Structure 1
Amino acid sequence: MTTIQILYEDDHQQRALALSTALVNQAAADPVSVAPKAVQGLRTLVFWGHGDKDALCRLSSREVVRLIGQWHALNPTLDAVEIITCNARHYDDAWLTKTDDKGKISKIKPKTHLHSYLAHALSGKRINNSMAKQVKRGLKYGRDSKVQKIQLKSMPESLNGSHNQYSILYWDQSSFSWCYVTGPSTAEMFEMGNNIKLTKSNGSDPSKKWGPARKGSFPEKVEAAKLEFPNADFGDVKAGKLADLRSMLEVVY
């Protein structure tokens, strides 16, 4: 029986189909644009595509919430939603200045749900404007009491207790493996990604830090990178095989 429906962005088709195959007889995978349909016994929707605070699978948070509601209307047994994407839990902070990779300082007012904005304005707490929190607010403050109870899970905000601004989820189709990296800036995040994906250059030019693509699955790449870059902090890195990916997800409150 199909209890899991995977909705993927077009260029994530192969990995979504691989996940569907791994979940033997439990899952189906379709483009996120597919019309919602009744699926007997459906319990979980999984979104897998590109993501940041502004879009998930090219949909705004409001469009995601609306789509979840449409699926739930046809499948009242639906009680869980999972988000697999980069930056699912990362966002621009409303109360702290943001410094980009070139050192420019700016402050961005977040787009968030009115109820949450008012609550945080009164409490003085930071507004978590990540895509996952936007979707959670949309479900929580929606009119349908049953949709309000849907459990939402996403990739974690932190792997070692640190508060970072960005995250990226790498995928290797040949080994069906993944690597999740978070960082305080895109520059630091991508530098760690390059440490993992690429070997050191053997050339005499010290500026050529990386060379050919590293071989093996992502767990193997990470272990090799730790040996090549012994001074790097791998605390914000987690890698695994396809079967481990959904176990990385955390409940969004």
Structure 2
Amino acid sequence: MPASDRVVIVTGAANGIGKACARRFAEDGLRVVVADTDRTAGKALAEELGAEKEKALFVDCNVADRLAVANLLAETLSTFGRVDVLVNNAGIVSKGDILNLPPEDFEKVISVNLTGAFLVARAAARQMAEQIHENDERTDDCRKRYAIINMSSVNAVVAIADQLAYCATKGAINQLTKSMALALAPMGIRVNAVGPGSINTDVLKAVLEDRSAMSKVMSRTPLARIGDPDEVAGVVHFLASKDASYITGECIYADGGRLALNYLASSSD
């Protein structure tokens, strides 16, 4: 693929959907910042994507930590000099419903999934705005260059009783996306979200190994299969591309048809 002068930061990039996104952007020639708390997997991915050739960089970053986020931007600018795309993918889960979820677990999920997304998005958006001002970039050009993609979920719309904290954060991410999109639209910085359904990641491993649980997943998935991280990465890549230059404030659900379903289909259908 031809080289690009664009730089993308992907949070939670060491594994799963984030890893697939990082690889997809690298294939397209973008310089990739792999941000994660998993140092072993993160460094390995950065090396795979060309860290030695200054095509990739790993930064150890807990998005809930303001100093860590500041360091993420500082390391990115020191190495690549700019930021053009942010994939706000870092997230965690904590099982529990309204009756038994410990407040500290609720707060931990909020701090990473929502506050962390806000902190990284604010830092990246401010840097993008500074670049636009310094370079006197045309708004029409900015819409093709600058993009922020937040990772939402079908659980922003449909809830799971014992995933209270996760569902709450993903609903909030959708509203965060819309508010950000309105604020940044005059500069040409586009902000969208992607809402995955059941995707083949470590989080879903327990389900994949349980035939009964897997049957339930299939019963609510019209396409009758688990999604692949690469399929989510494809949607993220599209939203960051010039082909999506007139799209902002939206959430695209890569869910195998789940949200279109108003009844439980038979897993044998």
TM-score (ref. length: structure 1): 0.46
Structure of greater relative contact order (alpha carbons < 8 Å, 6+ residues apart) = 2
Bigger strand fraction? 1
